[in-house]
Amino acid sequence: MKRIAITGSSGYIGQRLVAAFRDAGGTVLGIDVRAVNDGVVPDEFCECDIRDPTLIDSVRDFQPDTIIHCAFVIRPLHDAGEMSDINIGGTENVLSIAEQIAPARFLFISSATAYGAWPENPVPLPDETQVRPRPEYQYAAEKTALEGRVSALAEKCPEIAVSWVRPAVVGGPGMDNFLSRFMFGLPMLLKLDGFDQPLQFVHECDVVGAIQAVLSADGRGAFNLGPPNWTMTSEVAKETNRRIIPMPFRIAYGAVWLMWKLRFPLYESPPGFLYFGRYPWVVAPDRLCNEIGYRFRYSSTETMKETVKRQTRQRRAAWTSTGPPTVAVATTSNIYSWGSDSLAIDRAVDHAVHARIIRVPQLLRYRSES
């Protein structure tokens, strides 16, 4: 791999992929709606929305032998149409570009949530398990739908080594998103219907390493991306010194539905996300380990503990600079920055809350005015 184009290059995983491929001697084209101001930057950068029909010109001029598509809206949006347009429409544009340019390799970062959270899911899920969309949670349903489109590209263009990976919950020192706040920032954890849910964390270093390994082997098809172990919700509660409270799923769902509808400022995901806190979606990395030969550096629990340490340091730093918080709020997500100006404003406001620049009453006033 000499020339690698990466969409979402300014995001959480995107930045780490840029650094890894540059360290390996590759030349990287970064594609994002914003540039990074610190850290490792790509050799070339295209400030562009993945939906932009002119994006193909920049990619064609770069002449990549590898395209990695990781631009995606992860933080749920209240505007479902906008989120779908970015995720589905943007990915279709990137797939069209890949079809026309025909690089040697194309890799799509999907998600283990594409399997859906279902009561009959085996623990763990083998690679060959049929993905089943969970329509109540848009992010997961769109990942499922797009796997079908990526598979169609593989059938139509057999000369391209088309692959996609399904990461579990990505953690590590750089994790800073609504998932980290949901799992580690709330004052308590829930056992929905009294079930001690298995959770699977994959370290950000393993995500990057596995992607490099799949591409180096010209891997094709789907690869589960999670360590061969998992962590129980009760373990997370113990590590974070929080209570774990049993709660009927229906009650939790109703409460979250109301908070989401009212745009409650301290809750960032729709109620459909709770299915992934009730039913298992742990994956088995059989193809990755047996066919590609990848070996994970971190277990699920090791990744969880490292993420917790980062969250703890972050909260202590905030306390030191501004005093104890009025309400426990962790930092906002900036993994991927696709979206309108209003979304950027929301992120800025959430960052301000975490830094105690504004207090929750001011935030509520902002929400009501906007």
In this structure, are residues 226 and 202 in contact, taking their beta carbons and an 8 Å threshold?
A: yes
Assign 281 to helix, strand or coil: coil
Q: How far apart are the first and last CA of the chain?
A: 47
Query: From the centroid of its chain, how far is CA 177?
Result: 8
Assign 40 to helix, strand or coil: coil
What is the model's pLDDT at position 283? 98
Question: Which residue blocks in 66-164 are alpha helix, DSSP H?
Answer: 80-84, 90-101, 138-156
pLDDT band at 176 (very low <50, low <70, confident <90, very high): confident
Q: Which residue has the higher pLDDT, 312 or 94?
A: 94
Q: Phi and psi for 189 in degrees, rounded to 5?
A: -115, 155
Indicate whether 363 pLDDT > 90. no
Lowest mean pLDDT segment, chosen from 8-17, 91-100, 296-305, 313-322:
313-322
In this structure, are residues 131 and 116 in contact, taking their beta carbons and an 8 Å threshold?
A: yes
Cα(249)–Cα(22) distance, integer angstroms:
46
Cα(59)–Cα(49) distance, integer angstroms:
13
Assign 72 to helix, strand or coil: coil
Residues 306-317 pLDDT 10s: 999 877 766 666
Residues with Cβ within 8 Å of residue 139, at least 6 apart in sequence: 73, 74, 76, 83, 87, 111, 113
Assign 314 to helix, strand or coil: helix
Q: Which residue has the higher pLDDT, 156 or 268?
A: 156
In this structure, are residues 55 and 92 in contact, taking their beta carbons and an 8 Å threshold?
A: no
DSSP string, 121-139: --SSBPTTSPP---TTSHH
In this structure, are residues 225 and 291 in contact, taking their beta carbons and an 8 Å threshold?
A: no
In this structure, are residues 3 and 27 in contact, taking their beta carbons and an 8 Å threshold?
A: yes
pLDDT band at 351 (very low <50, low <70, confident <90, very high): very low
Scored b (16 or more CB within 10 A) or e, 123-139 reads ebbebebebbbbebbbb
Indicate whether 329 pLDDT > 50. no
Cα(80)–Cα(101) distance, integer angstroms:
31
Give the pTM. 0.85
Burial grade of 145 (CB within 10 A; 0-12, 13-18, 19 or more): middle
In this structure, are residues 304 and 231 in contact, taking their beta carbons and an 8 Å threshold?
A: yes
Radius of gyration over alpha carbons of the chain, in Å?
20
Q: Is the peptide bond before 124 cis (omega within 30 degrees of 0)?
A: yes
Catalogue all structural domains in the chain, each as residue range(s) with its CATH number. Answer: 3-171+200-229+280-299 (3.40.50.720), 233-278+306-369 (no CATH)
In this structure, are residues 33 and 9 in contact, taking their beta carbons and an 8 Å threshold?
A: no
Residues 24-63 pLDDT 10s: 999 999 999 999 877 789 999 999 999 999 999 999 999 9
